[in-house]
Amino acid sequence: MKRSGFTLIELLISIALFAIITIFLYQTLDMNEKSNIFYEQKLESYQNADDLKFIIYEDILNNSAIDTNKTKVITKDKNDNTILRLYTSNTFHNSFYANVTYFLGKEGNLFRIESKEFFNPEAVYDVLKKSYIDVIYTGVEKFRVVKKEKEKDFALYILFTNGEKIFITVSSPKS
């Protein structure tokens, strides 16, 4: 009598091959998911960086502050980072808070403050009570701004602690 079926060894070999193929497929799907997450985060960071560059660009482009003896558009802090003070129509929180100040905090955060009056480091608590504060970038090592004499052209340089750099130039239209 002839039996038609599989032997135990054939069944074990087919189960082992099926398990190996399943493991490889699972690893492939897992690697694919990890790469998708990585590229989504990278894309989101690039989009956020572009949005933030656009905010700075618009603030400078809509700047109408003029250097006076009382208020300088560009000053330096004790670490030689720039404090940028602008009077701009590019407001987000309150249209009456047209004074925008950019400065680098102690923990490496680049701040954007919208307030009624220009930000004064000596009167921090008075200004902060009547202001809107946004963290534009974190992990910033250097923040420098240069302005051309007698023009509204600016160049911004931001160096991050991870070595990344952002360089933005803004040239106002000539009247």
75-133 pLDDT, tens per residue? 887 777 888 888 888 887 777 888 888 888 888 888 888 887 776 666 666 666 677 88
In the three-class reduction of DSSP (H, G, I as helix; E, B as strand; rest coil), residue 11 is classed as helix
The SS3 of residue 118 is coil
- What is the value of pTM for the model shown? 0.64
CA distance 163 to 130: 35
pLDDT digits (tens, 9 = 90+) for 154-174: 888 888 888 888 888 887 655
